[in-house]
């Protein structure tokens, strides 16, 4: 695994990919941190940490979480050293989901 990288302030969060650090992997391992102990994460932070896994793009995370709280969670996890940003050449490829095309309510009527 590459060394931990500080986030590049020139990149927007949406153009970043995140993954677990060795410390983050240890945190998710069985017995890594017990709920209710001094170092435990909130359920929300834990969910974000789990989703980072081997690499996830901000846009993918944003599909499941509100942008502002997601940004705050990512910043907190970065500060704790549990996740790192991934260089574009090391990041998993990301294919944007195709936008769904929905027929207009009157589409069928106007095409005849």
Determine which helix (DSSP H) or strand (DSSP E) holds 47, and give its type and residue range.
Answer: helix 43-52
Q: What is the pLDDT of residue 67?
A: 81
Q: What is the pLDDT of residue 30?
A: 82
pLDDT, tens only, 37-57: 446 888 889 999 999 988 898
Could you tell me which residue, 74 or 68, shows the higher pLDDT?
A: 74
What dotted CATH number matches 13-92? 1.10.10
What is the residue extent of each domain of the chain?
A: 13-92
Which structure tokens are listed for 45? Answer: 């932070």
Phi and psi at residue 35, in whole multiples of 5°?
-55, 140
Residue whose C-alpha is closest to residue 18's, from 69, 70, 75, 56: 56
The residue written with tokens 């970043």 in the block is: 16
d(CA 26, CA 45) in angstroms, rounded, equals 15
């Amino acid at each position: 695994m590459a060394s931990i990288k500080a986030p590049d302030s020139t990149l927007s969060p949406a153009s970043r990919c995140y993954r677990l650090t060795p410390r983050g992997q240890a945190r998710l391992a069985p017995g890594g941190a017990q709920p209710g102990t001094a170092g435990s994460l909130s359920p929300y932070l834990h969910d974000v940490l789990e989703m980072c896994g081997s690499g996830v793009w901000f846009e993918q995370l944003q599909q499941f979480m509100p942008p502002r709280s997601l940004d705050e969670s990512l910043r907190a996890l970065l500060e704790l050293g549990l996740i790192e940003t991934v260089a574009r050449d090391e990041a998993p490829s990301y294919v944007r989901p195709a936008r769904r095309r929905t027929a207009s309510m009157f589409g069928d009527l106007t095409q005849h």
